Structure 1
Amino acid sequence: MQTYHYALASQRYLFEEEPFEEVLKERHRYYKEKNKEIDFWVVMQPAFLELPEMQDIKAKCPQPCAAIVSTNPTFVTWLKLRLEYVYVGEFQAPSDTIPDPLASLASV
C-alpha cells in the first residue's frame, strides 16, 4: 500500500481566487530542474471523498472541490502554507475501500 497525501479546496478557490496555475507551473519547473519525477496530481471531484469514512472531510470543503494528491508529504505541507484555505490529510491505497488512485492514469 502507498500513502497518498492531499490538499483539498473548492475549485472556485483554487482556480479563480488563487494563482494556482502559477503554483503548478513553478512546481513543474522545479521538478524538471532537479530531474525529479512528478509525484503529484490534480483531481477534480475526488472519488475518495465519497467513502463513508471521508464524509466529515467532504462536509468541510465547499463543493465542487479539487484535490492535489501526492506521495510527497512535504509538498502537501508546502501547499498548505502557500494556499491558505485548504484541508490536508492522507489515505492509503489500494485498500478494501479505495482503489489505486493512479491506476486510471496508467492507461492514459
Structure 2
Amino acid sequence: MPNYYFAVASQNFLLREEPIEEILRERTNYYKNINKDIDFWLVTNPHFINRSEFKSIKTQLINPSAAIISLDQQFIQWLKLRIGFVAIGNFTAESFDMEINH
C-alpha cells in the first residue's frame, strides 16, 4: 500500500494567498527535465482529512480545504517550509481515489 504525504490548508489560503500555481508549475517543469513521473496532486475538499487520526488537523482548518498530496515526503516537507501555514502528515491507502475524492 502506498504512503501518501500531504500539506493541507484552507482553499482560500492555499489557492489564493499563496503562489501555489507557480510552485507546482516549477515542480512539473523540473520533473519533465529529469524525466520523472508526476507524483503529486492538488486536491480540493480531500476526503482523507475526515479520518479519525486527522481530527486535530481538521478542527484547525477553515472549510473548504485543499491539499497537495505526494509520494515524495521531502517535497511536502519543503512545501511546509516554503508556505508555512499548512498542516502536514501522511496516510496509506489502497486506492488513491477512495481517500482523496468524496
Q: TM-score, normalised by structure 1?
A: 0.85
> After superposition, what is the alpha-carbon deviation per residue over 1:46-78, rounded to whole angstroms, capped at 9, x for unaligned?
001122332221111221110111110011011
The structure carrying a bigger helix percent of its residues is 2
| Alignment partner, residue 47 of structure 1 | 47
Q: Determine helix, strand or coil for the equivalent of 2:48.
A: helix
Q: CA RMSD in A?
A: 1.5
**Equivalences for residues 1-108 of structure 1 within 5 A:** 1-94=1-94, 100-102=95-97
Q: TM-score, normalised by structure 2?
A: 0.89
Structure 1, unaligned runs of 5 or more: 95-99, 104-108
Rounded Cα–Cα distance in structure 1 between residues aligned with 2:97 and 2:31: 19
Structure ID, larger Rg? 1
Matched residue count: 99
> After superposition, what is the alpha-carbon deviation per residue over 1:51-107, rounded to whole angstroms, capped at 9, x for unaligned?
23322211112211101111100110111111111000001112xxxxx1147xxxx
Rounded Cα–Cα distance in structure 2 between residues aligned with 1:80 and 1:2: 21
Same amino acid, percent of matched pairs: 46
